[in-house]
Amino acid sequence: MPAQTRLFRCLSDNFGVLLHDPETGATASIDAPEAAPVEAALKETGWTLSDILVTHHHADHTGGIAELKARHGCRVVAPAGEAGKIPGVDETARQGGVVKVGALSANVIETPGHTLGHIAYWFHADRLAFVGDTLFSIGCGRVIEGTPAQMWDSLKKLRDLPDDTEIFCGHEYTLSNIKFALTVEPDNPVLAARDAQARRQVQEGQPTIPTTIGEEKLANPFLRADRADVAANIGMAGKSAVDVFTEIRARKNKF
């Protein structure tokens, strides 16, 4: 049976999301920014929390774990490289590993850059990927612990997923990401269309995610750093993809 998801807001601009397996009743919270909105989503859906799948150690992704685990006794799965910084970890996950939520199955993809141990969970049969703070809709995470080259490699791993993969990310940054992306690719028609769509979604109080890999490939400048036209647009014709990515990320930091 296909997976079900429930997306909701947490803290100031974080997303929380529940992943539910209707066959077994298992339900995972992807990260746990804070406990109360997760509890509210569980109540609304009638689902029972069985697992928390953590993408990285930042407090705005882990702050609710201790409270939720104390109340539900759920299993906590965390990236192997950061388990020591995350409360209540029962199992660790690394590149090539498989994490189950009931009968649903995720491949673990290591995506260092934002943090060194950051991982994404790819539920291939359901075409869902939970990417934390590595890839955002029309953006990417800040390169805090790793190098730009690591982040570019991590983004390429996600870019290689099937085009119809739905992407759930950690934050609602889409409008400001689009504003920046238009400075890199002012004439990209897909970006202009996404701008109109995202404005409408925000006006209506709707989230701007999930997005898809196919759409991000057409409009997210951070996934397009190896295109000659993008390099030329920022005055870096002939430069390597890593150099172009590094420059785009540096410009975004100052934007």
Q: Give the pairing of strands 75-79 and 51-53.
A: parallel
Nearest to 171 by CA among 2, 5, 11: 11
Residues 41-60 within binding reach of Zn ion (CB under 5 A): 58
Is the peptide bond prior to 210 cis by the omega test (within 30 degrees of 0)? Answer: yes
- Work out how close the CB of 22 gets to Zn ion at its nearest, in angstroms, rounded to a whole number: 30
Active site residue 171: yes
Active-site residue (options: 20, 56, 57, 72) = 56
Name, in order, each residue with C-beta under 8 angstroms of 213's C-beta and a sequence gap of 6 or more. Answer: 129, 158, 159, 161, 162, 163, 164, 165, 167
Residue that is written with structure tokens 């920046």 in the block: 180
Nearer to Zn ion, 133 or 216 (CB): 133
- Work out how close the CB of 56 gets to Zn ion at its nearest, in angstroms, rounded to a whole number: 6
- Please tell me the distance from the alpha carbon of residue 7 to that of residue 232, in angstroms, as a whole number: 38
Does 249 contact Zn ion by CB under 5 A? no
Q: What is the dihedral of CA 29, 34, 37, 39, to 10 degrees?
A: 60
Active-site residue (options: 60, 153, 226, 243) = 60
- Work out how close the CB of 142 gets to Zn ion at its nearest, in angstroms, rounded to a whole number: 8
Does 195 contact Zn ion by CB under 5 A? no
139, 114 Cβ separation under 8 angstroms: no
Nearest to 142 by CA among 65, 72, 58: 58
Active site residue 164: no
18, 46 Cβ separation under 8 angstroms: no
Nearer to Zn ion, 26 or 89 (CB): 89
Helices (H), 76-173: 148-159
- Work out how close the CB of 147 gets to Zn ion at its nearest, in angstroms, rounded to a whole number: 17
Does 82 contact Zn ion by CB under 5 A? no
Active site residue 56: yes
Active-site residue (options: 57, 72, 114, 118) = 114
- Work out how close the CB of 55 gets to Zn ion at its nearest, in angstroms, rounded to a whole number: 8
Does 171 contact Zn ion by CB under 5 A? no
Active site residue 58: yes
Active-site residue (options: 20, 21, 31, 61) = 61
Residues 130-149 within binding reach of Zn ion (CB under 5 A): 133
Nearer to Zn ion, 134 or 165 (CB): 134
Nearer to Zn ion, 62 or 212 (CB): 62
Size of residue set near Zn ion by CB under 5 A: 2
Measured distance between the N- and C-terminal CA atoms of the chain, rounded to whole angstroms: 44
- Please tell me the distance from the alpha carbon of residue 158 to that of residue 143, in angstroms, as a whole number: 16
- Please tell me the distance from the alpha carbon of residue 148 to that of residue 161, in angstroms, as a whole number: 21
- Tokens matching residue 182: 């238009």
Contact region with Zn ion (CB under 5 A), list: 29-37, 125-133, 203-211, 242-250? 125-133
Does 224 contact Zn ion by CB under 5 A? no
Active site residue 124: no
Binding-site ranges for Zn ion (CB under 5 A)? 58, 133
* Active-site amino acid positions: 56, 58, 60-61, 114, 133, 171
